[in-house]
Structure 1
Amino acid sequence: MTPRELVGIAEVPGGPPLRLFRRGKDFMIVLERNELMSTRMSGSEVALGTLACQRLVGRPAPRLLIGGYGMGFTLRAVLGLVGKDADVVVAELVPGIIEWARGPMADLTDGCLDDPRVALEMGDVGDIIRRQTGGYDAILLDVDNGPDGLTRPANDSIYTVRGLEAAWRALRPGGILAVWSAAPDPVFARRLGSVGFSVDEVRVKARDNGKGATHIIWFARRD
């Protein structure tokens, strides 16, 4: 087996560091002993972007917020589907993630961060959401491990009733809050409904070939 090579370490504000590994052509981002994401399992991240955009068909000049760049799979899926008049804001908390995207993973990034439709904001996506009122057609969250946080405790606030109410206010009427999760969470699904969203829970496979673990994406519409 090809050995795993440590490429870099990125500090996480308020949490333990992330490590980027490479094995052959594949990259993995690891938190302690947990593999958070890898280039081998991108199916559900792509689905987050693809299925959200399908729910925005017909909206002129859509404005989207993507919380968490990760390896850019969701961003690239979105850019492949929205028009030239779209506005896509990417919020990323960890500077090292963007350094890796522009450095060792530049071939994978494929210039998506330099697309004229993209604005990169370094910081907590929760803060960005709270600053907006009716500003987005869609908010796509792939932050931490989903509502059951893993990377840093402060991420949990995004998924509280108060955090979801802020997302509801930040969306335009009919807008979509799309939330990725590594596992089901019936309590969180009910919480979305209690805030006033109509909720569609979709199960998707981790790999783009339809194999691997099953992940969850909630599509919550502001009616």
Structure 2
Amino acid sequence: MNDVDCPAQVIERATTPRGEIQLQRRGEYFEVISNGTFLMATYNGDSERLLVRRALQLTSRRDHVLIGGLGVGFSLQEALLDPTVHTVTVVEIEDKVIEWNRSILAEASGQALAHPKTRLVHADLVTWLRETRETFDLICLDIDNGPDWRVFDDNASLYDVEGLKALRSRLREGGCLSFWSATPSPDFARQLEEFFGRVESCEVPQAHGDPDYIFLVR
């Protein structure tokens, strides 16, 4: 039996202000579930890595990278692999996701959260973006399941016009903004095109389930 097809073994379940979050194991792999909805896993990080890797390819300056959403640490790890990146700021709202990345999930990302270039901000990204005055060469967002399929309604404001304005104001000249999505999100792609101009869309096939999608604008 493939490990991904193994029955899930619940490791920890916790109640947060946003509901229930759960870490479970399937064979050698781990999954994070929020309010009964699958969020992320360690058995396929291709799209999470592409979210950062393709954005890095589109920029000439890579001093400071912002990653919205820690997940299982794959996007953070990808940014740290680039020797020209000086600092990676990762914003994560869930205590448990941070705790698991420091313990059970640490090996999956190569101890990315403990890397000296990593700066962790424990906050709600939507609120933090409105309050910070920092700017970034890359902003890579893996929040919820994307613009169309959200576990938390409050995250919708990250993908609307006001949210895009806030993101653009935090992006440095020549910078790149990338979004992860669990769905093709054609309406969101059109909105990005109207707001930024040219949009690059990447479909990332998955061994199990539907493809993931990445949207990039400059």
TM-score w.r.t. length of structure 2: 0.90
For 1:133-148, what aligned pairs fall within 5 Å after superposition? 133=133, 135-148=135-148
Q: Name the structure 1 match of 2:38.
A: 35
Give percent identity, aligned residues only. Answer: 35
After the TM superposition, which segments of 4 or more aligned residues of structure 1 sit over 6 Å from their partners?
none
Deviation at 1:93, TM superposition (A): 0.6
Counterpart amino acid of 1:27? F
The gaps in structure 1 that reach 5 residues or longer are none
Q: Name the structure 2 match of 1:111.
A: 111
2:183–2:212 Cα contact (<8 Å) kept: yes
Question: Any idea what SS the aligned residue of 1:150 has?
Answer: coil
Deviation at 1:189, TM superposition (A): 1.2
Q: RMSD value over aligned CA atoms?
A: 1.9
Instruction: Give the Cα–Cα distance (whole angstroms) in 2 for the partners of residues 65 and 145 of structure 1.
Output: 18
Question: Any idea what SS the aligned residue of 1:198 has?
Answer: coil
Instruction: Give the Cα–Cα distance (whole angstroms) in 2 for the partners of residues 135 and 16 of structure 1.
Output: 32
Deviation at 1:20, TM superposition (A): 0.6
Aligned residues: 214
Paired residue for 1:55, among 37, 58, 70?
58
Question: Any idea what SS the aligned residue of 1:206 has?
Answer: coil
- Give CA deviations for 1:145-192 in whole Å, capped at 9, x if unaligned: 100242211111100100001101110112111000001111111211
Paired residue for 1:6, among 7, 10, 13?
10
1:149–1:156 Cα contact (<8 Å) kept: no
Deviation at 1:34, TM superposition (A): 2.7
Structure with more contact order per residue of length (Cα contacts < 8 Å, sep ≥ 6): 1
For 1:1-223, what aligned pairs fall within 5 Å after superposition? 2-13=6-17, 15-56=18-59, 58-59=60-61, 62-83=63-84, 86-133=86-133, 135-206=135-206, 213-221=210-218
The gaps in structure 2 that reach 5 residues or longer are none
Bigger Cα displacement from structure 2, 152-161 vs 33-42: 33-42
Instruction: Give the Cα–Cα distance (whole angstroms) in 2 for the partners of residues 21 and 124 of structure 1.
Output: 24
